[in-house]
Amino acid sequence: MLVEIDVAIIGAGVIGLATAREIAQEKKGVFVFEKNRTFGLETSSRNSEVIHAGIYYPEDSLKAKLCVEGKSLLYKLCDKHNIAYKKTGKIIVAADENEISWLEELYEQGRKNGVDDLVLLSRTELKKLEPNIEARAGLLSPSSGIFDSYTLLKFLYSQAMEKGARFVFDTEVIGIERAGAKYKVQIKDRDGISAFIAHVVVNCAGLNSDMIAQLAGIDIAQAGYKLHYCKGEYFSLSSKYRNVVNRLIYPVPEQAGHGIHVTVGLDGRVRLGPNARYVEAIDYEVDGTQKEVFYNSVKRFLPHIELEDLAPEFAGIRPKLQGPGEAFRDFVIACEEKASLPSLINLIGIESPGLTASLAIARYVGRIMS
């Protein structure tokens, strides 16, 4: 007879960790299966660590709602548990006259999403706030910030454990099969292949979340669940630029990302990126030949930088539902009753603002399960 557990969460990135913390109180027997040796080694540790305000996304989308809710939950949690953060604010800049209408559109979009503190800035107002930035106009988002995401991951992990969740590392989920109203889940670890029965399966497998849905029997092409990998690379700016800006500085958004932006870390170090390049396979090398692209793109609004001041830093991969040139896609957070898979909850396409939204996403999953 196979061992039975209540809930199997697949993946210990920020979404699996936050979900485990959220539901472990209510449900006994919550297990998190992670193929890596520990939590948070993939997308959750390869990002900009920005707390997004919730400006860009269509009204009523999950991205908009969960970002706005998640931002406020995250700031509260950071305050309560001494997780380092800085509400730096962020300015989206119009480098030329043609881009000003974008700022006005983003202003309206943000307000529709409940981001009601946005301020349109003239060139003079912008210059007062950011003397080193050269731009025609700006959109200030005071509630954007940066935070220490690794401490958040550690906190969620230890709280989930305190509440009774158990973590099984170095263990990959390789099969999911309906077994009456439950699921037979097959796993592979150092000792080989084994299986157990789970009453509920929550798919938080990030870049593999489409494949997990497929393992469970969903036709991912038909369901629109096929993921596209979109790489985001970062370059650092040399230490002489420490605190060259006071806030996060973004260009107007691109089709697949927020545009190569300038972020200041909690330590004052300045980083450029990420870009957005669709790729076929997962690899985290930074392509040095992109240096000039970064330089030209940021020089438009930060004119003092020199090419030799940029150095390749790191890369992350976005799990995108939206392919190249395609229209906006929202997060998929769905209980798959329609696919005759009740008690299978899929979280697919959890790209940015997934980190900001993580606590709100976990609450949302908790509501689906209750």
Ligand X SMILES: Cc1cc2nc3c(=O)[nH]c(=O)nc-3n(C[C@H](O)[C@H](O)[C@H](O)COP(=O)(O)OP(=O)(O)OC[C@H]3O[C@@H](n4cnc5c(N)ncnc54)[C@H](O)[C@@H]3O)c2cc1C
Q: Which residues bind ligand X (CB under 6 A)?
A: 10-16, 33-36, 41-44, 46-50, 52, 172-173, 204-208, 212, 232, 274, 316-318, 350-356
CA-wise closest residue to 279 among 268, 287, 271, 289? 287
List, as one string, the DSSP characters of 274-287: ---EEESS------
Q: Which one-letter DSSP state was computed for residue 143?
A: T
- Whether the Cβ atoms of residue 319 and residue 229 lie closer than 8 Å to each other: yes
Question: By three-state DSSP, how is residue 229 classified?
Answer: strand
Q: Which two tokens stand for residue 57?
A: 């996304």
Dihedral of CA 269/272/276/277: which sign?
negative
CB 17 within 8 A of CB 40: yes
Among 332, 313, 327, 321, CA closest to 260: 313
Q: Return d(Cα 230, Cα 257) in angstroms, integer.
A: 9
Q: In this structure, what are the phi and psi dihedrals at residue 108, rounded to the nearest 5 degrees?
A: -65, -45
3-state helix, strand and coil shares in percent for the chain, rounded to the nearest 5: 35, 30, 35
Q: How far is it, in rounded angstroms, from Cα 268 to Cα 243?
A: 5
